[in-house]
Amino acid sequence: MLNAHFALLGGALSLVGGASYIRDILRGESQPNRVSWLLWGVATSMVGLAQIREGVGVQWLLSLAIGLGDFAVIAASFVSRAGVWKLGPFDYACGAASLVGLSLWAVTNDATVAIVSFILADAMACIPTLVKSWLTPASESIAPYACTMAGAILTLATVTTWSSGAVAFSLWIAGINGVFVVLIRRQALTTN
């Protein structure tokens, strides 16, 4: 296991990826799906709170960094007119399903159940961006997903006491961001 301070580096990697995505949004090179990014910010922030409540240690810093980055991406999408992805009924339906998952936290007093419900909500929020990444990978940037995946893997390497609160969200983040990397990267592979 790595020293717990490496969790700080994991969070920093996520922030670096978010900053590069914001740069691409402001340049009009990437168009975030606002439904996904807003709900990711909410879910991830709530995961961080549940992790703190469960006492997982510094691994909650990854959740904080991802949540901050997600909210910054939303803000950037309102600054840049070219950085907007048109939303449709499918996006809103996935957003509503994600909100149902988030609301499960309100009915439980169990941090583990809360983290699982946040992961489910995060998964529902991913669907519009997964579809977008599959259909138009050029509308996305690989850096935020690759950096966040690396940050999650690094954070997992710092866990000394494996509990659902300490590992579930980081495992999810590493896996889903890996899927995004593959989907976006295939655009570069097919154009070469």
- Looking at residue 187, its pLDDT comes to 65
Give Cα separations from 170 to 33, 72, 78, 113, 139 (angstroms).
22, 20, 29, 16, 26
Give the residue numbers spanning the domain of 37.
6-191
182 part of a folded domain: yes
Give me the average pLDDT of each 10-residue run along the chain (192 residues): 85 94 92 87 83 83 91 91 70 75 71 78 87 91 95 92 82 96 80 54
pTM: 0.86
Domains: count for the chain: 1
Contact indicator for 155, 10 with CB cutoff of 8 Å: yes
Contact indicator for 176, 126 with CB cutoff of 8 Å: yes
- Looking at residue 162, its pLDDT comes to 82
38 part of a folded domain: yes
60 part of a folded domain: yes
1 part of a folded domain: no
- Looking at residue 105, its pLDDT comes to 67
- Looking at residue 188, its pLDDT comes to 58
